[in-house]
Each structure stands twice: as structure tokens, then as C-alpha cells.
Amino acid sequence: MQIEQQKLLDRFLKYVQIDTESDPASDSTPSTEKQWDLARELALELERIGMKDVTIDQRAYVMATLPSNCDRDIPTIGFISHFDTTPDFTGANVNPQLVENYDGSTIQLGQSGKVLSPEDFEDLLIYKGQTLITTDGTTLLGADDKAGICEIISAMEYLIQHPEIEHGTIKVGFTPDEEIGRGAHHFDVEAFGADWAYTMDGSQIGELEYENFNAAGAVVTIAGKIVHPGYAKGKMVNSMLIAQNFIASLPESETPQNTEGREGFFHLYAMSGGVDETKLEYIIRDHDKQKFEIRKSRLKALAEEINSRLDLPRIHVEIKDQYYNMREKVEPLMHVVEIAEKAMLDAGIQPLIKPIRGGTDGSQLSYMGLPCPNIFAGGHNFHGPYEYVPLESMVKAVEVIVRIAEITASGKYRS
Ligand SMILES: [Zn+2]
């Protein structure tokens, strides 16, 4: 497969220079007006390469169709990516640097004084001899996820220019506001009309993810009783001291800093209080559904246990589920993952399958009826000035998309 590297690169360099930072403080969709600039450009580009039914809705979601080129009954598949960049670091005036034939040494990031060094980022050494695209140290790059967008468009263009490659109907979807957790919120799964899809939003070449956390948020409110401290004997109830007891009763080994892989945790991420009332805010995470439920019960049982030793039930726990492990939705359709795995092997890539310690748009979409594993887009060090992407990884991602289309059309994936 001969992917046009220069075209892919030009497209990427153009898109990262359009500022699309999203904003969690905004209630509108897209959260920032400037995301329209790229959304409109993407719709135009999809038209230009020959995609059909290109739409852009009132919330800037862009969709398009590549019609099937054979008569057989083939499942409709989709590829999804987001065009916003994180509010964690500025994405305005991105000035990308090109490092050709990377020799494994330290890279100066423009005049910023910052360096990209294998001493800090060992992964760089995987890419010796390749072309790296970096920042100039003053902005993020936006490979998360403009790399994914370029890969999807380039793959569609390749399929259009190579009609000898058989494929079914392919849907493309580009969303705003993924970085503030809302990319899937207004995604019209029905209009998209795919049997399954892939988000091109992973990092290192080879990444393939179809497991993420089950997630809930818990607010623990503790009521105290305030009395003049000089005359408080037998009367005052200090809610902060009850809170201290509550916090210490949860195992320290089950915190984010002490867990990895498929180990779940309780994470106390905020607390505020006085004598009268204390509020503890937790997130609860576990890949295993049963263990996740046990964690939630455990938090409630702990409150009851402490309450039983108090003059009245002073601890109140409110738990809200946030998202679930997509594995539950993907596993009954395991060929969705197997196709991606095979596509990578065919492209000479070793698949790196691992559970995500977080959520993805794909997990939300999976529960909205669109099973949606996540595939690498190629970038590293997202959300900051050290972000970089090897051009060769982007080329490989294009190949993977094309191969997925081809394998799906062949029907040769049912084991
Ligand atoms: Zn992303």
C-alpha cells in the first residue's frame, strides 16, 4: 500500500494550525466558536476527496459516507475522531517542527528552552530514523486528535482512488468537545447508521483498546454540630473529625497512586468543610463490573458502620454512575476487535491490547448502541508542549483503516 506521505503531512500541518481548544466552562456545543473553523474545513475536504452525504449539524458534528463498491451484503462500519484540543495547554499559534531521519538525540523545541529528550521520554527511541513532528515548545501539537482526523480522511481518499479494493459502506464522524468529555453527547448514532465503529484516538502505534473503567462519582456529606468551643463538652460534633475517620477507613492500597493495570480504586479528589459540615468527593473506578458494584456498596456500608456509632446518622453518601466498561458491549461482537487486530498484523504492526484506565468517547458510544473500540492515532505526550507524532505511525494508521475496510468486506473474520 503506497500512502501519499506528503499529502498526509500537509493536511496535518494545516489542521494543527487551526486553534480548536474546547472550554469546559461553556454550556454550548461546540463549547468554543473557533471549533467551527476546522469543522467547516473538514466538511469541505470530505467533499473535495469525493465523499457522499457530507453533513455538518448545528452543533458542528461532521459526518460523511463512502458508499459500498460491491453488491454483497457487508456490515456498515465507521471511523470517528475529534477535532477539539484540550484546554489543559494552549493550542493557539501552533508552529510545528519537522525532525527528519531522527537520530535518537535530544530535540530543541524552538526557542522555548524546552527539550524533547529520550532521557525523559524513552519512547522516542522507537522512532529512530523516522520523521517526527513536534511543537516549538510554546503550545501543544494537537495530534490528539488531528492525527486521527488526517488518517481517516487519507484512508477514505485512498479507497476512493483505489476502486479495486472492495469495501462496504463506510461512515466517517468528526466531533467537537471530546476533551471536555462531551464528544459523544450529541453524536447521532442513528443518523450515523454504522453496525460498529472505531475511534482513531489512541496513542502509540499498535494500541488497540476495548476495555475501560466502570466509573461512578460519590459525594459524602457529613453533618456536624457547632457549639462554642469553650463550652462544647459532650455537645460539639466536629464533622471534619468524622471525615478523617471515614477517609482513613478506606484502604490506602486502593488509590490511584497505588494501582495499575486492571486494579480499581477509590480516589478522594476534593474535600471541603468546617465543624458544621464536611464534604468529600470521590471517584470510584474498576474494570470489573462486579467489583465496581462491591466498591459502591462498600462506601455505603462504611457510612452506615460509622453512623451506627454516632448519636444520629450524620454521614450521607450519594453515588452516581458516570460510564461503564465498553467490554460488555464489544465482547458479544468480538470480531470487531479481531478485524482491527488482523488489520494491524497485516500492516506489520504488533497490536498492543491493554485496558484503558479512564473512559473514552467510544465507551459512551458503545452504550448508545455503537460498539466502538479505540485504535492508535500515533501521537505521544498528549496535552502539553512535549507532544509529538511520528509521520510513519500516521501512515501505518491509514493502512490499518484501509485494511479494516478490506477485511470487513471479505467476510473472512468469523472464526
Ligand atoms: Zn483524543
Could you read off the pLDDT of 152-201 as tens digits, one per residue? 999 999 999 999 999 999 999 999 999 998 999 999 999 999 999 999 99
**392 annotated active-site:** no
DSSP code of 21? B
Residue 260 marked ligand-binding? no
Determine how many CB atoms are found less than 10 A away from the CB of residue 414.
6
**How far away, in angstroms, is 82 Cα from ligand 1 center?**
7
Burial class, 161, CB count within 10 angstroms (exposed 0-12 / middle 13-18 / buried 19+): exposed
Reported confidence tier of residue 414, pLDDT bands at 50, 70, 90:
low
Handedness of CA 57, 63, 64, 70 (dihedral sign): negative
**How far away, in angstroms, is 144 Cα from ligand 1 center?**
4
pLDDT at 47 over 80: yes
Residue 383 marked ligand-binding? yes
As given in the structure block, the three cell numbers for residue 176 are: 467537537
User: What are the tens digits of pLDDT across the range 85-112?
Assistant: 999 999 999 999 999 999 999 999 999 9
Mean pLDDT score, 338-351: 97
The catalytically annotated residue of 178, 286, 399, 406 is 178
Averaged confidence pLDDT in the chain: 96
Tell me which residue of 405, 413, 29, 395 sits closest to 194, measured CA to CA: 405
CA distance 32 to 199: 22
User: What are the tens digits of pLDDT across the range 301-332?
Assistant: 999 999 999 999 999 999 999 999 999 999 99
Handedness of CA 230, 233, 239, 240 (dihedral sign): positive
Please give the pLDDT value at position 412: 87
Instruction: Assign 339 to helix, strand or coil.
Output: helix
The catalytically annotated residue of 19, 21, 23, 84 is 84
**How far away, in angstroms, is 410 Cα from ligand 1 center?**
30
**How far away, in angstroms, is 79 Cα from ligand 1 center?**
14
Please give the pLDDT value at position 361: 87
Strand order across the beta sheet in which 97-99 lies: 97-99, 132-134, 388-390
Residues in CB range of 69: below 8 A, 6 or more apart: 163, 166, 167
**How far away, in angstroms, is 168 Cα from ligand 1 center?**
27
Mean pLDDT score, 31-42: 98
As given in the structure block, the three cell numbers for residue 149 are: 482526523
**177 annotated active-site:** no
Residue 179 marked ligand-binding? yes
**How far away, in angstroms, is 390 Cα from ligand 1 center?**
16
- Counted residue by residue, the chain has a size of 415
Tell me which residue of 38, 408, 341 sits closest to 194, measured CA to CA: 408
CA distance 286 to 293: 9
Can you spell out the DSSP letters for 59-91?
T--EEEEE--SSSS----EEEEEE--B-TTS--
As given in the structure block, the three cell numbers for residue 270 are: 476534593
**How far away, in angstroms, is 382 Cα from ligand 1 center?**
8
Residue 71 marked ligand-binding? no
CA distance 380 to 392: 13
Residues in CB range of 245: below 8 A, 6 or more apart: 306
Q: What is the pTM of this model?
A: 0.90
**How far away, in angstroms, is 248 Cα from ligand 1 center?**
35
**How far away, in angstroms, is 359 Cα from ligand 1 center?**
11
Percent of the chain with pLDDT over 70: 100
Please give the pLDDT value at position 211: 96
Q: Which domains does the chain have, with CATH numbers?
A: 5-211+326-410 (3.40.630.10), 214-323 (3.30.70.360)
